[in-house]
A and B are shown apart, each in its own frame.
Chain A
């Protein structure tokens, strides 16, 4: 097994182009989406309807700007309208007393996120107002604010569920793009197995005294190793060099990445079992990885998705759980124990795919 891993590494050293380009792509896309260093926020122009008094305007603006992800700046209604109409800015928010509107120039992923977020703030506000009207206590508002500020942890997480903390562009792009490109690396590394079957070196190795499962294990370990290292190296780089925050629980990150990599290696085996040729595999990899990334929340957060069908499909994809676990670690500082569910689902997925995959491959003589 070791001999086979070493051989594949030796081959990689001769032709490292593919893996290096995957690294480059990961870096490029994370930067493109997540931006360089520091917390870059999404700019949102906002203007107020006449129904909102000045005092309330300031309060609302403060509240909206509490999130790390968005930066709301007040503009003149006329300029905002004109700029949106001309397409200079993609969207603007019109804030009214108990409601809001979004002016939209083009469909934009951020616009969905902004909408979601503002909606959350307004909904909270309305709920408090409703209760306020009911209790008839002039100090109620202050009490709630105080309570929210110092209250039990459970309450803080109410706001973060769909709002402020739940979305972080940097983490989203780092985790999403890294996992996405690692799928290519892993499955193409595994593709060496299919390539060897075609060139005949596979048969040669099988004819040697080395047992078949050792040969499989060699290929699987190689693909696992390459994928695992790629993800970790990217994470470490962004965490330490570019100040992206992947959380402080590094062991949990490692375990999550290992589970994810395993599930993708297994998925690769299943794909190898299903395709008839290396060409088919090469054609299938982008299709599978792109659609998985789209449906599983690697391109945009699942919080921005409301389509029930997509949500249902996402529950079947390992990348959904990989993203979920990594965000839980980085944003909510969760430990391994509370990640038991996503991690075990990824492992289960892996075991299933691996079993079916190897069976299909072996049946093909």
Chain B
């Protein structure tokens, strides 16, 4: 019901979004995954009619929202990446204002406010100033505002950035319930693989303004079905080791991680012996070695040669 065709956005000379095609069907939870600067927020801004694409179109039930943004406004809720609230006002005052500009009033407005406050678990704190809230609580009100007018689709731009695991869990669970129990269509943007894996039916992976892969989690991991991952933990970084390991013929990719390195290799390639020998040659101290089935993170690594988060 919400669809983009050949969407493109350039800022001055920089191409932020390039030829993006994606769609949402009713009731779906779709993930948009990509590292910083991939173009996720820009794509969302165009999909929500906030900015006009340089090229391409966005349609809502077949009608172009580039030509007429009003067709989507009442049906769409957007949770922006930043905390877009009036911090010197209370949560209740914020909700009241945003409800009013969506045309809600009187009893209906108060009911909706009570409802969303309940949903984000902040009913008791509704008369506190938003600036006195913790980061996690601000995030929850940020979401609540987008739910007030009971939209059919909700687009969330990294709604869990920079908050504690508990609030994060709360939010993820809430989104899951909205999707499963209320049948709300969700577009969830993140650079946390696990969140997207947990919530979403389908996933788009974005990098450098382009969609580089898409499909269900199974479809995406099957890109690497004939590969496996070797995770090596080292006592300290050995830069020469990376170069040396890349020289081994069967190794597809080598990436340095926080604690050591990660190799993507063909399944059953029995490379461990060679790896040990190279490490030995460089007097590298291995703390642990693990062979794993590839994750979505590895798919991203495989496709771009980079980690999802730097």
Given A11-B88, A200-B82, A207 and B74 contact (CB-CB distance below 8 Å): no
Q: Tell me which residues from 71 to 93 in chain B have a Cβ below 8 Å from any Cβ of chain A.
A: 73-74, 76, 78, 80-89, 93
Contacting pair A204 B98 (CB below 8 A): yes
Whether, in the assembled complex, B243 has its beta carbon less than 8 Å from a beta carbon of chain A, the answer is: no
Closest beta carbon of chain A to B60's beta carbon, Å? 13
Whether, in the assembled complex, A101 has its beta carbon less than 8 Å from a beta carbon of chain B, the answer is: no
Whether, in the assembled complex, A208 has its beta carbon less than 8 Å from a beta carbon of chain B, the answer is: yes
Chain B contacts for A7, CB-based, 8 A: 86, 97
Count of chain A residues with Cβ under 8 Å from any Cβ of B? 19
The proximity string for A residues 172-215 relative to B, scoring 1 for CB distances below 8 Å and 0 otherwise, is 00000000000000000000000000011101111111100000
- Which of B83, B89, B101 interacts with A210 by CB under 8 Å? B101
A296 to B202, CA, bound (A): 64
- Closest partner residue, chain B, to A205 (CB atom): B101
Whether, in the assembled complex, A15 has its beta carbon less than 8 Å from a beta carbon of chain B, the answer is: yes
Q: Tell me which residues from 140 to 165 in chain A have a Cβ below 8 Å from any Cβ of chain B.
A: none
Whether, in the assembled complex, B162 has its beta carbon less than 8 Å from a beta carbon of chain A, the answer is: no
Chain B contacts for A365, CB-based, 8 A: 11, 51
Contacting pair A209 B74 (CB below 8 A): yes
Number of A-B contacts (CB under 8 A): 58
- Which of B51, B80, B89, B102 interacts with A209 by CB under 8 Å? B102
Closest beta carbon of chain A to B171's beta carbon, Å? 18
Contacting pair A203 B101 (CB below 8 A): no
Whether, in the assembled complex, B103 has its beta carbon less than 8 Å from a beta carbon of chain A, the answer is: yes
Given A3-B97, A10-B93, A14-B89, A208 and B84 contact (CB-CB distance below 8 Å): no
Whether, in the assembled complex, B50 has its beta carbon less than 8 Å from a beta carbon of chain A, the answer is: yes
Whether, in the assembled complex, B100 has its beta carbon less than 8 Å from a beta carbon of chain A, the answer is: yes
Chain B contacts for A203, CB-based, 8 A: 50, 78, 80, 84
Contacting pair A199 B97 (CB below 8 A): no
Closest beta carbon of chain B to A47's beta carbon, Å? 62
Closest beta carbon of chain A to B252's beta carbon, Å? 41
Closest beta carbon of chain B to A9's beta carbon, Å? 12
Given A7-B97, A204-B98, A199 and B103 contact (CB-CB distance below 8 Å): no
Query: Which 5 residue pairs are nearest across A and B when measured between Cβ atoms?
Result: A200-B84, A208-B101, A200-B82, A14-B88, A201-B84
Contacts A11-B86, A203-B78, A209-B103 known; 15 new A-B pairs at CB < 8 A? A3-B100, A10-B93, A14-B89, A199-B85, A200-B83, A201-B84, A201-B85, A203-B50, A203-B80, A204-B78, A204-B80, A205-B101, A206-B50, A207-B78, A209-B73
